[in-house]
């Protein structure tokens, strides 16, 4: 008996060489099938009625002869036939595995011995179902919810992203534009995306094309619906800008950060508002024009105002010398005096830096005021000054004059 079973197993492997099937002589009562009684009415069945592409179908057999060798014949939806060999257990039962490769439709399974069909069953490879719901962008709305129901073999498939595209024609055949991506909602198999178009499409009908993000060219994972865009019922926008703004530069800067209150707008639906440059921007010294725009589905309105930044910051003079006192040069009623010159800086730039005397000038006996003046590019000025005193410390050289003095 043992030798016979070994021979049958070897024959089984020889006959199934190259087939995409797996025979599993499992014990009866396991893998979801009940215990069988040998030599009863033979029958076969599958572990479920519908499968996803790529799944493995488990086919159970019961009521066959002990150790009977059977040909399992699977007729596919495309008419092709796959064959494999399986051997029944000692109780006349078996388990046979068949791998699906994505051909959607109904499959017929037959257990054959000696060219006689002993038992049959069937199952389906259901695949994807994508139902895109029609939607309407109503006259009084600025957004619309696009939605589709996506199932896989009749079950919700919650693990994928789906692209939503808007197409110029209702058959979604070409020219579609991606508007967003959404994730499947596991509670009702529905994926939803709220689209706020800008600008609003012209009234009419458009295609809603939905596809799985990671398989954009797989027609099994796609669907098409219709979007109706109604003529908008709304009030065109109006906008009133703030008054012109005048301010001074920020300390140490040739500019200022300027903010203002939002423009006053009217319109239905409520317009969106933007200003260029925006409130809170940095404005250079001088006058800048600001344009604000209000937009809703009915139109656009604009207004303008100016922002003027004045440079009110004086230049800074550094290193201004202290007062200087010197004796006259020998034989002179004065002296040549030198010093280290100061420097000037400004937040916007120095236009000129001048003085009434320069180091190395001749100063007469007595006190002279030296003044440095810095002027920036916007006319602001700063001064620093110091005194140069020349003392006459040389006595007269004529003796008579000298004695008269004494």
188 occurs within a structural domain: yes
Statement to judge: residues 272 and 385 lie in one domain: no
Task: Quote the CA–CA distance of 319 and 201 in Å, as a whole number.
Answer: 68
Quickly state the pLDDT bin for 185 (edges 50, 70, 90). Answer: confident
Q: Is residue 157 part of a domain?
A: yes
Cα dist from 189 to 64, 132, 390, whole Å: 43, 12, 101
Does residue 138 fall inside a structural domain? yes
Domain membership flag for residue 264: yes
* Vertex 236: Cα angle to 231 and 239 (nearest 5): 155
pLDDT tens figures, 308-328: 999 999 999 999 999 999 999
What per-residue confidence (pLDDT) applies to 218? 82
The whole-angstrom separation of Cα 291 and Cα 281 is 13
Tell me: do 108 and 149 sit in the same domain: no
20/86 same-domain check: yes
CATH assignment of the domain containing 218: 2.60.40.1930
The domain total for the chain is 4
At residue 51, the pLDDT reads 77
334 in the same domain as 301:
no
Share of the chain above pLDDT 90, in %: 69
Question: Residue 65 has which token pair?
Answer: 């002869």
* 187 is a domain residue: yes
pLDDT tens string 349-388: 999 999 999 999 999 999 999 999 999 999 999 999 999 9
Mind listing the pLDDT tens digit for each residue in 134-172?
A: 999 998 888 999 999 988 766 776 678 999 999 999 999
- pLDDT interval class at 38 (50, 70, 90): very low
Nearest Cα residue to 113 out of 152, 61, 176: 61
| 296 & 270 share domain | yes
- Higher pLDDT: 346 or 22? It is 346
- How large is the C-alpha radius of gyration of the chain? 48
Q: Please say if the pLDDT value at position 10 is more than 80.
A: no
Are 138 and 206 in a shared domain? yes
| SS3 call for 405 | helix
Is residue 306 within 8 Å of 290, Cβ to Cβ? yes
Let me know if residue 398 belongs to a domain. no
At 289, which CATH number? 2.60.40.10
Local structure of 404: helix, strand or coil: helix
CB-based contacts of 114: which residues, under 8 Å, 6+ apart?
A: none
Same domain, 164 and 264: no
Task: Give the model confidence (pLDDT) of 384-401 as tens digits.
Answer: 999 999 999 999 876 565
Distance CA 270, CA 137 (A): 17
Whether residue 399 is contained in a domain is answered as no
- Which residues sit opposite 85 in a β-bridge? 71
Query: Considering 195, 229, 263, which residue would you say is the last residue of a domain?
Result: 229
For residue 333, tell me if it sits in a domain.
yes
Question: What pLDDT shows up at residue 158?
Answer: 65
- Tell the burial category of 211 from Cβ atoms under 10 Å away from its Cβ (0-12, 13-18, 19+): buried
Strand blocks (E) in 63-143: 69-75, 81-87, 94-99, 105-113, 116-125, 128-132, 135-137
Give the range of the structural domain holding residue 170, as residue numbers without chain letter.
128-229
Q: Do 7 and 118 lie in a common domain?
A: yes
pTM, 2 dp = 0.46
Q: Taking 70 as the threshold, does the pLDDT of residue 9 lie above it?
A: no
């Amino acid at each position: 008996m043992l030798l016979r079973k070994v021979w049958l197993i070897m024959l089984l492997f020889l006959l199934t060489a190259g087939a995409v099937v797996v025979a599993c002589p499992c014990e009866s009562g396991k893998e979801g099938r009940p215990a069988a009684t040998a030599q009863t009415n033979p029958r076969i069945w599958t572990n479920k009625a519908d499968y996803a592409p790529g799944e493995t179908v488990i086919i159970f057999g019961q009521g066959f002869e002990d150790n009977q060798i059977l040909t399992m014949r699977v007729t596919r939806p495309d008419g092709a036939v796959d064959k494999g060999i399986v051997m029944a257990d000692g109780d006349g039962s078996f388990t046979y595995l068949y791998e699906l490769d994505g051909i959607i439709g109904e499959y017929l399974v037959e257990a054959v011995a000696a060219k006689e069909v002993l038992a049959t069953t069937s199952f389906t490879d259901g695949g994807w179902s994508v139902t895109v719901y029609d939607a309407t962008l109503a006259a009084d709305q600025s957004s619309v919810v696009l939605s589709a129901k996506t199932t896989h073999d009749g079950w919700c498939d919650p693990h994928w992203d789906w692209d939503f595209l808007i197409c110029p024609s209702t058959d979604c055949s070409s020219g579609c534009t991606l508007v967003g991506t959404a994730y499947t909602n596991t509670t009702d198999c529905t994926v939803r995306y709220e689209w706020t178009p800008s600008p609003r499409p012209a009234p009419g009908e458009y295609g809603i094309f939905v596809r799985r993000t990671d398989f954009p060219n797989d027609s099994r994972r796609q669907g098409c619906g219709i979007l109706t865009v109604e003529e908008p019922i709304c009030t065109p926008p109006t906008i009133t800008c703030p008054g012109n703004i005048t301010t001074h530069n920020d300390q140490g800067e040739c500019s200022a950060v300027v903010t203002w209150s939002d423009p006053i707008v009217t319109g239905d639906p409520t317009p969106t508002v933007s200003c260029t440059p925006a409130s809170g921007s940095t404005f250079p010294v001088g006058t800048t024009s600001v344009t604000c725009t209000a937009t809703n589905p009915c139109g656009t309105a604009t207004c303008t105002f100016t922002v003027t930044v004045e440079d009110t910051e004086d230049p800074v003079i550094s290193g201004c010398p202290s007062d200087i006192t010197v004796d006259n040069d020998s034989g002179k009623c004065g002296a040549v005096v030198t010093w280290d010159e100061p420097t000037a800086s400004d937040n916007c730039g120095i236009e000129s830096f001048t003085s009434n005397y320069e180091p190395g000038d001749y100063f007469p006996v007595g006190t002279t005021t030296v003044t440095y003046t810095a002027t920036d590019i916007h006319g602001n000025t700063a001064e620093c000054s110091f005194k140069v005193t020349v003392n006459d410390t040389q006595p007269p050289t004529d003796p008579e004059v000298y004695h008269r003095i004494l």
